[in-house]
């Protein structure tokens, strides 16, 4: 195994590991699923404040596993989860907080049922129906591949619907043998956005400034955190937006965040998406790779979050049918691009120092998501479903004061790649 040669600074009580409470995290907020680079909003109705909504996690297979909180109806009480993810206590509250107009829909018979609102008179119905099915199938296939690789961990599903239309399927694996935490969230939204927001992205026919324009959006989002420091974290998000005024777009991408560089891994990951892009347009890969390098930047550190991939947004420069084919191929390449890399490294030997370095890099992941990710920021400000908003965060992250790496070490090599994005294929 690789042995890190890291220079250890003096500690004065400022080092430590921060365990992110994640016992009931299930998936990214639906808004973040629609866009990692914009913040569409929808007015959320409130349920009566005296009774919290019911939400029961249903395992996709096997029995419920440790670390996942099962919420039950409560009257004027709240559930709390300990930092270890183990104990649950109920505490008195004056009144339950307002709840979104969202209800659980975990009947097994509805597992594959469409979440699209019916009777919506705008947008290309065939396109959104096809893309929803693409995303549902991709969620199923990716969950299956990760469960097979893990061998022990199982995804649990929380299916929900909104009374105003739309809903989602949130799936999470916690404390698996290979994966520390993995969340995959499918969301379908129906709402209205200000004219000014949509008009920036196209001509809004039949509407004027000050109007609110109905829209439908859908997306599949995921963040996967393996245990082994030589197995990289991976994120993907693919989405479609349609509005009543005729403005529409596709967007999304897949990116990878290792703690250590394996050049063969990077060639495989980037090579997979270059082949996908080249099959549709030779300009896609260099354009989308550059877009990812520029978006996933931790500005206050002067580092990228990871080693890139592809990222795109507002894509409507060609017929929707052509873009549907591209984004279908892209989301269907997640397993091919990522699973072989984790399989290669899941049993690698590692040192405590290398595990600490992984924790440090996951700390950087937390910084980006909480400080810069627009979907996360929007969701927290709007007091949406916090569990889904924070699904992307790792169970454990580390912040050590003035952490330094030794020149010439593997840690220094990847740190240079974070500061100076490289070409891998």
CB 39 within 8 A of CB 378: yes
CB-side exposure of 117: number of CA atoms within 13 Å? 20
The whole-number pLDDT of residue 173 equals 97
CB 181 within 8 A of CB 25: yes
80: helix, strand or coil: strand
Please report how the helices 263-278 and 320-331 are oriented relative to each other, as an axis angle in degrees rounded to 10. Answer: 160
- Tokens representing 37? 């680079």
Give the DSSP letter of residue 51. Answer: B
- Tokens representing 29? 């907020």
What distance in Å separates the CA atoms of residue 151 and residue 147, rounded to the nearest whole number? 6
What distance in Å separates the CA atoms of residue 326 and residue 76, rounded to the nearest whole number? 49
CB 304 within 8 A of CB 108: no
Give the pairing type, strands 309-315 and 248-257: antiparallel
Q: 215 — phi, psi (to 5°)?
A: -145, 165
Residues near 294 by beta carbon (within 8 Å), at least 6 away in sequence: none
Q: Check if 235 is active-site.
A: yes
pLDDT tens for the 425 residues of the chain, in order: 443 444 343 333 333 333 332 332 233 333 333 333 333 333 223 333 333 333 334 455 443 343 333 333 333 333 333 333 333 333 333 444 444 477 888 787 787 889 998 888 888 999 999 999 999 999 999 999 999 999 999 999 999 898 888 999 999 999 999 999 999 999 998 989 999 989 988 888 999 999 999 999 999 999 999 999 999 999 999 999 999 999 999 999 999 999 999 999 999 999 999 999 999 999 999 999 999 999 999 999 999 999 999 999 999 999 999 999 999 999 999 999 999 999 999 999 999 999 999 999 999 999 999 999 877 887 787 666 788 889 899 999 999 999 999 999 999 999 999 999 999 99
CB-side exposure of 367: number of CA atoms within 13 Å? 19
Q: Which domains does the chain have, with CATH numbers?
A: 29-43+120-419 (3.40.1500.10)
The whole-number pLDDT of residue 340 equals 99
> Where is 184: in which H helix or E strand?
strand 179-194
For 105-171, the DSSP string reads ---GGGTT---PPS---SS-HHHHHHHHHHHHHHHHHHHHHHHHHHSS---EEEEEEETTSEEEEEE
Residues near 117 by beta carbon (within 8 Å), at least 6 away in sequence: 165, 166, 188, 190, 216
Beta bridge partners of 162: 102
> Which residue among 10, 225, 235, 300 is the active-site one?
235
The whole-number pLDDT of residue 383 equals 65
What distance in Å separates the CA atoms of residue 300 and residue 178, rounded to the nearest whole number? 32
CB-side exposure of 415: number of CA atoms within 13 Å? 16
What distance in Å separates the CA atoms of residue 332 and residue 53, rounded to the nearest whole number? 34
| Backbone angle region of 366, left / alpha / beta, with phi > 0 → left and psi within -120 to 50 → alpha | alpha
Beta bridge partners of 88: 81
For 194-249, the DSSP string reads EHHHHHTTS--TT--TT-EEEEEEEEEEEEEEESSTTSPEEEEEEEEEEETTS-EE
């Amino acid at each position: 195994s690789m042995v890190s040669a890291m220079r250890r600074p003096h500690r004065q009580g400022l080092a430590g590991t921060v365990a992110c409470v994640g016992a009931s995290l299930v998936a990214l907020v639906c808004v973040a699923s629609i866009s990692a680079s914009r913040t569409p909003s929808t007015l959320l109705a409130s349920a009566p404040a005296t009774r919290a909504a019911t939400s029961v996690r249903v395992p996709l297979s096997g029995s419920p596993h440790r670390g996942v909180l099962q919420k039950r109806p409560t009257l004027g009480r709240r559930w709390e989860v300990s930092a270890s993810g183990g104990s649950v206590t109920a505490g008195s509250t004056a009144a339950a907080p307002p709840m979104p107009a969202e209800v659980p829909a975990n009947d097994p018979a509805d597992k594959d049922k469409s979440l699209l609102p019916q009777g919506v008179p705008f947008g290309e119905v065939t396109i959104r129906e096809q893309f929803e099915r693409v995303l549902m199938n991709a969620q199923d296939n990716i969950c299956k591949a990760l469960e097979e690789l893990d061998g022990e961990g199982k995804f649990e599903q929380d299916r929900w619907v909104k009374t105003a239309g739309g809903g989602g399927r949130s799936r999470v694996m916690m404390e698996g043998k290979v994966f520390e935490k993995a969340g995959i969230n499918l969301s379908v939204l129906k709402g209205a956005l200000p004219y000014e927001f949509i008009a920036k992205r196209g001509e809004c026919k039949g509407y004027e400034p000050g109007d609110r324009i109905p829209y439908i959006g859908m997306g599949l989002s995921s963040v996967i955190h393996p245990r082994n420091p030589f197995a990289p974290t991976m994120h993907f998000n693919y989405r479609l937006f349609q509005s009543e005024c005729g403005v529409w777009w596709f967007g999304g991408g897949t990116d990878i965040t290792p703690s250590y560089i394996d050049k063969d891994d990077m060639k495989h990951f980037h090579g997979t998406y270059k082949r996908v892009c080249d099959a549709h347009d030779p300009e896609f890969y260099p354009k989308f790779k550059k877009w990812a390098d520029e978006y996933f930047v931790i500005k206050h550190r002067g580092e990228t979050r990871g080693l890139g991939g592809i990222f795109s947004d507002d894509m409507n420069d060609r017929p929707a049918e052509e873009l549907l084919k591209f984004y279908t191929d892209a989301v269907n390449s997640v397993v091919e691009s990522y699973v072989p890399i984790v399989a290669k490294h899941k049993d690698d030997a590692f040192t405590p120092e290398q595990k600490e370095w992984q924790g440090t890099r996951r700390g950087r992941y937390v910084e980006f998501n909480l400080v810069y990710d627009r979907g996360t920021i929007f969701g927290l400000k709007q007091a949406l479903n916090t569990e889904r908003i924070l699904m992307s965060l790792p169970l454990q992250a580390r912040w050590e004061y003035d952490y330094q790496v030794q020149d010439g070490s593997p840690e220094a090599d990847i740190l240079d790649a974070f500061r100076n994005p490289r070409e891998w294929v």
